[in-house]
Amino acid sequence: MKRITRVALITSGGDCQGLNAAIRGVGKALLNRIDDIEIFGMQDGYRGLIDRDYKFMESRDFSGIITHGGTILGTSRQNYIPGKDIVDDNGESLIPAMMDTYNRLNLDCLVIMGGNGTQKSAKLLMDAGMNVVTLPKTIDNDIWGTDVTFGFQSAVDIATNVIDYIHSTASSHGRTFLVELMGRDAGWLTLYAGVGSGADVILLPEIPYDIDKIVEYLEERRESGRKFSILAVSEGARSKNDGVFDEEAARKKKESSKYPTISYELADIIEKKTGQETRVTIPGHYQRGGPPCPYDRVLATHFGAAAADLIVKKDYGKMVAMQNGNIVPIPLAEAAEKTKFLPTDHPLIQVGRDIGISFGD
């Protein structure tokens, strides 16, 4: 009797556009390529694996979802000790419970779709003895080893659209506007949306800003007859006076600040120094919502089919990536090892400088 292949799908961490397209890509490819296949969908990320909360997925579950935002499986975050363990609120390891579900279902592989942190936690499951294939999803585009993640282009489209709309009100009132964008400690989203929308100033985590230079630049714009200015500000932007923070130090600085976000702090300083009315817009999770753009639908489908191919070949312990326009598998250990920050010599930064955009330095 031919053995049944059993695969579980998991969407972990923050949601983003393209997750359902990726679920569809994996599921349809597995059903088409393997005759004896059972696919399980773990509910709410790793929680489903921990609590044995899952659904058996049929062909119809993968139909009509390519245009849907979010994830039909639900998602959640788990406490994670980098490089060591996935734990509950009491610090107890959750990996044994996850392994128990894996063994009870007699799974051949987990397909885990997630961002930078998920790649790292997925490696822990791999190290514990589970077969794992991962897909890179995040609007931050900060996963090592892949040129692009699905969700990124959709977020760029939304963030660009927000700044496009801010132009008219900024122009009408002669105001300075700061639009704060997501991306954590990587500036990919802010750079692409800033250049694409015609922002005047782009502030990135990788290029510490000098507030005096920003003010000087804004004053020069006003003196030249341009009555308004728009700053695209990454949520992780930092002053040159902040020095180099690790994650814990950055968190403590943020908690001690009287301002809710970096943009409100900058707006207060800019308004006092320039005398120009200054406003803040934060689209927030709006950037992660809604249907995926066509590019992300195609990319996520391609990634999903590639994950199915790795399962057919029993080539586990890999993350599906895009490199130089080609879809390739790379070792999960490599993807989980680093974070892909924006290089300060990135060609698009030089393009921005060439056309007169200030990066605050």
Q: Hey, how many other C-beta atoms are within 10 angstroms of the C-beta on 251?
A: 11
Reading the block at residue 161, the tokens are 């659209």
The full set of domains in the chain, from first to last, is 5-150+292-337 (3.40.50.450), 152-288 (3.40.50.460)
Q: What is the pLDDT along the chain (361 residues), one digit of tens a residue?
A: 468 999 999 999 989 999 999 999 999 999 999 999 999 999 999 999 999 999 999 999 999 999 999 999 999 988 888 889 899 998 999 999 999 999 999 999 999 999 999 999 999 999 999 999 999 999 999 999 999 999 999 999 999 999 999 999 988 888 999 999 999 899 999 999 999 999 999 999 999 999 999 999 999 999 898 999 999 999 999 999 876 556 666 667 777 778 889 999 999 999 999 999 999 999 999 999 999 999 999 999 999 999 999 999 999 999 999 999 999 999 999 999 999 999 999 999 999 999 999 999 9
- Which residue(s) pair with 38 in the sheet? 6
Closest CA to 309 of 11, 3, 33: 33
Return d(Cα 163, Cα 319) in angstroms, integer: 34
Question: At 237, is the secondary structure helix, strand, or coil?
Answer: coil
Q: Hey, how many other C-beta atoms are within 10 angstroms of the C-beta on 339?
A: 16
Q: Hey, how many other C-beta atoms are within 10 angstroms of the C-beta on 206?
A: 20
Return d(Cα 239, Cα 208) in angstroms, integer: 5
- Which residue(s) pair with 203 in the sheet? 233
Closest CA to 155 of 105, 120, 115, 121: 115
List 15, 140, 142, 200, catalytic entry: 140
pTM: 0.93
Say whether 140 is catalytic: yes
Return d(Cα 316, Cα 66) in angstroms, integer: 26
Return d(Cα 45, Cα 96) in angstroms, integer: 16
